[in-house]
Amino acid sequence: MGDNITQPAKSAELIRAKFLREALQRHAPALSSPGETIPAAPRPITPSFAPENPELQRAYLEQLVECAPEAITILDLEYRITRLNSEFTRIFGFGPTEALGQRIDSLIVPPDRSAETRWITDLLVKGQKVVLETKRQRKDGTLLDVFISTAPIMLDGKQVALCVLYRDISEQKRAEARYRSLVQSAVYGIYRSSTEGRFFDVNPALITMLGYTSAEEVLALDPKLDVFVDPSEQARVMSEFQRGERLDNVEVRWKRKDGSAITVRLSGRVANSPEETDQVVEIIAEDITERRALENQFRQAQKMEAVGRLAGGVAHDFNNLLMVIGGYTEVLLEHTRKSNPLYPKIEAIHQATDRATTLTRQLLAFSRKQLLELKVVDLNIIVEDMERLLRPLIGENIELHTQLAPDLGRTRADAGQIEQVLMNLVVNSKDAMPNGGKLIIQSNNARMNHEDVRREYSYIQPGLYVVLSVTDTGEGMDKETQSRIFEPFFTTKEKGKGTGLGLSTVYGIIKQSGGYVLVESEPRLGTTFRIYLPRVEDALEPAGAVGVSRSQTGGSETVLLAEDEESVRQLVRETLEAKGYKVLEADNGEAALQIVSSHAGKIDMLITDVVMPGMSGRELSARLCASCPHTKVLYLSGYTEDAIVHEGVIDPDTAFLQKPFTLQMLSRKVREVLDS
């Protein structure tokens, strides 16, 4: 009980001493005794109030008691009330006729305070003062929070009575309760500590933030060693206080009980009070770990998006150039004998064109502007079909194991692109194990709930997924490398050993398929790539069969060609005319419609670029087919963001040829569309 009243007692003494001191200063002549030195009164005192006048002195003391801001009672040695003031009546409701002669413990002391009464009695018997905060009972039975100061009244060395002062602190208690509730229910961590960082008080949010279950655990911590990831940060925080007695949005790294690190933003001030001799700081701590992770993800996404736009634009323009280079190289190869000394040079140009075409397709994959043929597929089937190709690829010093879930769900994806993803990941793992190791390909189902998603992966949408993972026991990667591995042309391999497009292609294909690519790696501890693809309940769709090559003898139909790139338009026109077709050419949509209006015969087919200045290929097709509904349409483009596709997926029943294509592909596709 003594611990509970130490602080209130100290406060009470200060208040009481202050009150009595002010009273003595105001009434010095009437209350002083012979020989005492009292400071001069603030106003002149008339001679009629001299201390040797007992009657005036008594009246003056009566007025002092009556006008006191505290409720005052005088008790005899049996604790019966012999005197009370009007403030006692106002606070407790008992008038003089009801209170005088009554024992104080039967009047305002609730029955549940019996132990407290005995404790007070013991102290008073010993002649000690009693100061405490407690509850007392009003006349109407309600309880009141009060501050009590009790002292014996001594005459000639003997105790003759007791003086008890009561102060109503109900409003103060309510304010303290509101403040306590605010602190206890705050979502931010709040704590008080010494200037050396030792915790004095902590709220529940701070306990939870640090991963502990009780305040006692946190109060026992040494912040420098047990809380701050970098001990020097604790010194930095305290130096901020010493410099300006404030802390404004200082970010530090804290350790949780499980050893994980969190980023915390601290704000606070130095709190000085007369009750505390040592300097104390009050700090609000906000856990911003998730916010920082999201900001980093957003910045990374912005960077990837910017690089993707650049890569996609370069690939689009480059595809038109490759169309011309590759197309005329085909023509030269077709009309040059192999014995001709120029033939190997032309063939080298053709091979370089093929490699450049592969690079542009990888850039388009990263920028998510390639075309995907999405079908419901089983990832297990794709892995099993590729396993025989992967074993000779990785070499004999690497063990390959597959662990495929027999109940694996289905997903919607482009099977050929998933094969490319798997191939790129396996090659990446192989290069990370130059001295051999183990490679594991796994599949499983996953349900991602809000609470299951780790903070760094909070961008994953909750739902059902199928997961394909590739794990190796290779060299692994540090955090900085992991943050850049999906960027185009970023590689850790030696010069000439890789283009840096393998993982960026994986990233683009999976993102365009509506999935996610996650990587976990530690230096010298290997790497795991996990691919999450949305799970679907639809039935498997049959893979497209490879069709028998149709006749490329051409035809005699009339074809309207709309292409804004002159060199591409010329190449396509020459190819089709060589196959016997009649070609009408236009460099934009408006010119194509003018040709239609002036052409007397039937137009069997429209071949149009998707993206053209002015009118798009889609709009041209719609306007032409409105007047010529039997005209077939074939779209061309290096990539498409036009209305014929949604997120890179071609609308059903839409004929499309992706640049750069070979002249054989063009001839075959034109014939297929005309015959469909």
- State pLDDT tens for residues 87-144: 999 999 999 999 999 999 889 999 888 888 888 888 888 878 889 999 999 999 999 9
Contact 634, 657 (CB under 8 A): yes
* pLDDT for the residue numbered 157: 83
Q: Which of 61-65, 328-332, 487-491, 535-539 has the lowest mean pLDDT?
A: 487-491
Section 549-561 average pLDDT: 73
pLDDT at residue 602 greater than cutoff 80: yes
The whole-number average pLDDT for the span 360-386 is 73
| Low-confidence winner among 21-30, 156-165, 198-207, 646-655 (lowest mean pLDDT) | 21-30
Q: Cβ(74)–Cβ(161) under 8 Å? A: yes
Q: Which residues contact 322 (CB under 8 A, 6 or more apart)?
A: 353, 356, 357, 360, 659, 660
Q: What is the pLDDT of residue 549?
A: 41
Helix (H, G, I), strand (E, B) or coil at 528: strand
Q: What 3-state class would DSSP assign to 581?
A: coil
Predicted pLDDT of residue 273: 63
**CATH class belonging to 186-287:** alpha beta
Q: Parallel, antiparallel, or unpaired: how do β-strands 71-75 and 81-84 relate?
A: antiparallel
The string of pLDDT tens digits covering residues 340-370 is 888 889 888 888 887 777 666 666 655 545 5
- For residues 99, 105, 111 and 112, what is the CA-based torsion angle, rounded to 10 degrees? 130
Range in 128-132, 226-230, 301-305, 336-340 with the lowest mean pLDDT:
301-305
H or E, element range at 360 = helix 343-366
For 135, residues 6+ apart whose C-beta sits below 8 A from its C-beta are 110, 113, 143, 144, 145, 146
CATH for 2-169, options being 3.30.450.20, 3.30.1240.10, 1.10.1060.10, 3.40.50.150:
3.30.450.20
Domain 558-675 class, CATH top level: alpha beta
Distance, CA of 100 to CA of 108 (rounded, Å): 13
Query: Model confidence over 251-270: pLDDT tens digits?
Result: 899 999 988 889 999 998 88
Fold of 295-361: Helix Hairpins (1.10.287)
Start and end residues for every CATH 1.10.287.130 domain found in the chain? 295-361
User: Does the pLDDT at position 33 exceed 90?
Assistant: no
- Is the torsion defined by CA of 227, 233, 235, 236 positive or negative? negative
Nearby residues of 174 by Cβ (< 8 Å), 6 or more positions away: none
> Hey, which bits of 126-245 come out as E strands?
130-137, 143-155, 158-168, 189-194, 199-202
Average pLDDT score over the chain? 79
Could you tell me the pTM of the whole model? Answer: 0.46
* CATH 3.40.50.2300, the chain: domain bounds: 558-675
Q: What is the pLDDT of residues 506-553, one digit of tens each?
A: 887 888 788 888 899 988 889 999 999 999 988 876 654 333 344 456
Number of C-beta neighbours around residue 408 at 10 A: 19
E-only strand ranges, 582-674: 582-586, 605-609, 632-637, 645-646, 649-650, 656-658
Percentage of the chain lying above the pLDDT 90 cut: 25
- Residue 369 is predicted with a pLDDT of 52
Phi-psi region of 101 (alpha: psi -120 to 50; beta: other; left: phi over 0): left
CATH match for 375-536 among 3.40.50.150, 3.30.565.10, 3.40.50.300, 1.25.40.10 = 3.30.565.10
Strand partners, 534: 465
Instruction: Cite the residue boundaries of each domain of the chain with CATH code 3.30.450.20.
Output: 2-169, 186-287
